[in-house]
Amino acid sequence: MTIEWPAHYPSQCPPVDAEPAVGTYFRLVDAAPPTGEDILSHVELKNAGLRFRNRDFGNEQCIASGFSIFDTQFAAERTRSAVGPLRKKRIAKVDVSGSGVVKQTGGNTSHHTWWRPASDDDWTSCVVVT
């Protein structure tokens, strides 16, 4: 089965070593339930002129095309408290099973990137937990 990825994904994205999305993860969001900017990747936010206007994602374009998620609620809470602009965010829980692929990314071993198929709407199942 071939997955249709969003048009803004660069070539070779998602990476070939990403694994099928399975399980529950946590995402930092603004709204309960998540809406608007909560459901857009960094690249989509830039393309819409909402954020990152002058940012060149360079060789991080693929990661910026996906969604930051954490494998535990504690990891999401720790990141939220450590990064000033994130302190007002809420934490939403989402089951990513069967929806795209995930890969651990960045220096935080609990941080993953979730690449969703073009027709995916699994974000609608997000439940704000804090």
Domain CATH for 94: 3.20.170
Is 64 within 8 Å of 42 (Cβ atoms)?
A: yes
Does residue 2 belong to any structural domain of this protein?
Answer: no
What pLDDT score does 65 carry?
Answer: 97
Tell me how crowded residue 29 is: count the other CB atoms within 10 A of its CB: 21
Is 103 within 8 Å of 18 (Cβ atoms)?
A: yes
pLDDT along the chain (130 residues), means of 10: 89 96 95 84 92 91 96 97 93 92 96 92 80
Domain count, the chain: 1
What pLDDT score does 36 carry?
Answer: 77
What pLDDT score does 1 carry?
Answer: 63
Which residues neighbour 18 within 8 Å (Cβ) at sequence distance 6 or greater?
Answer: 101, 102, 103, 113, 115
Does residue 13 belong to any structural domain of this protein?
Answer: no
Residue among 10, 17, 20, 12 at smallest CA distance from 98: 20
What pLDDT score does 122 carry?
Answer: 67
Does residue 98 belong to any structural domain of this protein?
Answer: yes
Does residue 51 belong to any structural domain of this protein?
Answer: yes
120 vs 100: CA distance, rounded Å: 8
Does residue 4 belong to any structural domain of this protein?
Answer: no
Three-state DSSP class for residue 97: coil
Structural domain span for residue 77: 19-128
Is 43 within 8 Å of 57 (Cβ atoms)?
A: yes
70 vs 93: CA distance, rounded Å: 9
